Structure 1
Amino acid sequence: MARHPVRAAGDRTPTVYDVADRASVSIATVSRVLRTPDAVREATRERVLDAVRDLGYVPSGNARALAGRKTGVIGLCFPGHDALEEEDRPAPELTDGVRVVDDRRRGAAPQSPNLYFDEVLRGAEVEAWRRGFALMVAAGRGPARDVIVNDIAGRVDGLAVLARTVSDDLLVHVARRLPVVLLADAARTGAEPPDGLDHVSVDNAAGMQALVTHVVERLGVRDLVYVAGPADSPDDAERQRGLFAALDAAGLDRAVVEHVRGDFRRDTGDAAVADLLGRRVPRALVCANDQSALGALDALRRRGLRVPDDVYVTGFDGLDVGRFTEPPLTTVAQPMAELGRAAVRAVVDRLADPGAPLLSSRLPVQVLLRESCPPVDTSM
């Protein structure tokens, strides 16, 4: 990955005119590249983006305020995640202010897909308010995510960004102008965050290892299936590392543990487990997050299988909804709200002391044993 030198504090802040001059295009073309990149020919787009990177330009209607870190706003970015996308449905047509809707459920009824992000956001909002800042939240997916990060970077004093949702190059580019803190793991076990960015995460590996150790050693399970998250998720990579550590410690072959893809969502967790049950019924389902576990419970219920009598089910996150499932969900509770608060604290601390040592904070987790995979095996 290319590394860019940090611009000296006394250097003049580059403008859109500098970018246009460097790329030999109009400022209108620069604006189109930064806001609607797909509307510009690839060769021109790359020339403009090269100029942006070389100059360290961050688009801003308030560039002078940004340079002085006086916007009073901190950005929170969850780009690239469908979890924050509104469901694409038409607004209801109202008659006399009331509409009667048949809302009987048909099969599984997925919960809101962004419960994890709701908790992180709540913590970030509280901490920003305590520190005297407003919070600006942005989400997007596909090519729009880079545009969104560039845009929000021009409006805030610092950014907290979910790891691996945008390229390291873009993060390093933005970090030349303002503090950037990564949320969640960087998927480089034992390594520093990319190019020296501050980093706040939770101990995913230790939490999953403790949970799986309970399943395989305390309950004696040898037939378990891992319902994985997205293939590019740093959190899932860490949780799989904890899974493998527990299997190794118990003397079990990693290869015998089947993986199915739940994608961190209730509906995809449901679909993955339903497909699995068409082939076989394992003794335990170890799910990469709570929403996948909720989907697993949906699929098991439709098949008439009992939890925990027929199948153990575990999750990861500690969503409040897990306490009210039937049966209540065994899970690893991570401090989601505290993760948001810690990220905001890291941004504010970096603003106050740009030369402070890098922060790489890993918050502890807690294993919560409930009825879906109880402390003792009551089914045998």
Structure 2
Amino acid sequence: MNPTIHDVARLSKTSKSTVSRYLNGQPVKKRTEETLKAAIKELGYHPNVNARRLVKNSTQTIGVVVDDISNNFYSGILRGIEKVANLHNYQCVYYNGVSHRQGEFGFLNLAHERQVDGLILISFLKRSPELFEKIKDLSMPVALIGDGGEGIRDHGLLSVDVNNEHGIKEIVHYLNRIGHKEIAFIAGPDEFSATSQRITGYKKALKELGLTLQPSWIVPSDWSKEGGYKAMSELINKGGMTAVIASNDETAIGALLCTHELGFRVPKHFSIAGFDDIEVSSWVYPPLTTVKQPLYQIGIEATEGLVKKMKNKEAPLQGRRLIEPNLVVRDSCMNLL
């Protein structure tokens, strides 16, 4: 038979209640803790998770729903989530959003069935008001990673994301400081919330600097290398700009390739900047100036907010939290001064 809490108490010469306090993370004397650890190791004791769930009415589990769990882009966020979850003795169970035809909607039953104590939904796609309403009606805490926009405040939910608008403004201001006044922009897909925020940042920065907005210099892409190549080719045909900001690094890498294949050099003929600071951005030629997303910090802050709410349901929600990105200057932009 498997050893029980009574066996641990008997071998360690302590009471069952002391063992229980220790197993539930409550403080015990240092000498008692060492004795209990030794007894647990000798017996090969493992807590009965299901029994503890019944007693505490808790699974000690956080459900994490990811758009596409195979995408390395999310690794920093997941490390941040794990860091905080481990500190508070929670386990994480991961679910792949793309495998469910209803996306995030399809995983809300995890809350209804009480399979987890809290949910973290990771998606950078635009979320519908209907989803916000369904999340608001749940009886358990939920944290959203991927900005819900200003409307998130109306639903009383916690969301964490990078400050996309600020990140693009930082790039525009940097380019202007090194002499660029004609700056084009490669936008992203409409279905992502960051796309409109990054376009807004671009337009606001031009206005702040007194630079002329050329609507034809804003071209769309699908955030792929191929999309960046096509968009850059279009901009080169239009001409007139000295710098191009691509709204993600994949697109910027496609733009770099396009300029090289058409006989231009970066940054001699065009300065190119990206957004995200994915690993390969420092390995392309020339190394890409970009904005680093604070993905690890996003994971930490979302999980800290969630855990706080799980431990104290009366705790106030943090609402919409935008974390500032960092400009990373490399060699893809030329100083014109």
Of residues 145, 153, 160, the one that matches 1:183 is: 145
2:204 to 231, 241, 245: 245
Compute the displacement of 1:199 (Å): 1.8
What is the SS of the residue equivalent to 2:291?
A: strand
Letter in 1 for 2:129: D
| Partner of residue 267 from structure 1, selected from 209, 226, 235 | 226
2:276 paired residue among 296, 317, 321: 317
Aligned to 2:302: 343
Deviation for aligned residue 1:297: 1.7
5+ residue gaps, structure 2, are 1-49
Q: How far apart, CA to CA, are the structure 1 residues paired with 2:129 and 2:217?
A: 32
Q: How far off its partner does 1:281 sit?
A: 7.2
Residues 269 and 292 in structure 1, CA contact (< 8 A), matched pair in contact too: yes
Measure the CA separation in 1 of the matches of 2:185 and 2:225.
15
Identical pairs, percent = 28
The match for 1:123 is: 80
What is aligned with 1:150? 108
Any conservation in 1 of the 2:228–2:254 contact (CA below 8 Å)? yes
Would the aligned equivalents of 1:200 and 1:361 in 2 still touch at CA under 8 Å? yes
Residues 305-352 of structure 1: CA deviation (Å, up to 9, x unaligned)? 211111111111222322222111111112111111211111111101
Give 1:56-95 correspondences, 5 Å limit.
Answer: 70-79=58-67, 84=68
Following superposition, the deviation at residue 361 of structure 1 comes to 2.4
The CA deviation string for residues 95-145 of structure 1, in whole angstroms up to 9 with x for no partner, is: xxxxxxxxxxxxxxxxxxx34322222322333223222222333348431
> Which residue does 1:137 correspond to in 2?
94
Alignment correspondent of 1:97: none
Structure with greater helix percent: 2
Aligned position for 1:167: 128
| Residues 167 and 192 of structure 1: CA distance in aligned 2, closer, same or farther (over 3 Å) | closer
Q: Deviations over 1:344-373 (max 9, x none)?
A: 111111101222222132222211111011
TM-score by length of 1: 0.66
TM-score normalised by the chain length of structure 2 = 0.73
CA deviation profile, 1:59-83 (whole Å, cap 9, x unmatched): xxx9xx69x762222222234xxxx
How far 1:257 sits from its partner (Å)? 5.5
Contact 1:75 1:160 in 2 (8 A): yes
Range moving further from structure 2, 275-284 or 115-124: 275-284
Seen in structure 2, the aligned counterparts of structure 1 residues 340 and 227 have a Cα distance that, compared at 3 Å, is: same
Find 2:332's aligned residue among 366, 369, 372.
372
Corresponding position of 2:181: 222
Alignment pair present for 1:204 and 2:199: no
Looking at structure 1, the residues matched to 149 and 191 of structure 2 have their Cα atoms a distance apart, in angstroms, of 9
Q: Within 1, Cα distance between the matches of 2:300 and 2:209?
A: 37
Number of residue equivalences = 281
Gaps of at least 5 residues in structure 1 are 1-61, 87-113
Larger radius of gyration: 2
- Do the aligned partners of residues 127 and 225 (structure 1) sit closer, same or farther apart at CA in structure 2, a change above 3 Å counting? same
Residue type at the aligned position of 1:187: G
Asked if structure 2 preserves the Cα contact closer than 8 Å seen for 1:182 and 1:198, the reply is yes
Per-residue Cα deviation, 1:199-250 (whole angstroms, up to 9, x for no partner)? 21222222211210122x2233233221112213222222222211210012
Residue 159 of structure 2: SS of its match in structure 1?
strand
| Residue of structure 1 equivalent to 2:16 | none
- Structure 1 residues 251, 237: closer, same or farther in 2, change over 3 A? same
Structure 1 pair 180/333, CA: closer, same or farther in 2 (3 Å)?
Answer: same
- 2:248–2:275 contact (8 Å) kept in structure 1: yes
Which stretch of structure 1 is more off in the superposition, 360-369 or 267-276?
A: 267-276
The answer to whether the Cα contact below 8 Å between 1:308 and 1:372 also exists between their aligned partners in 2 is yes
- Within 1, Cα distance between the matches of 2:69 and 2:315? 36
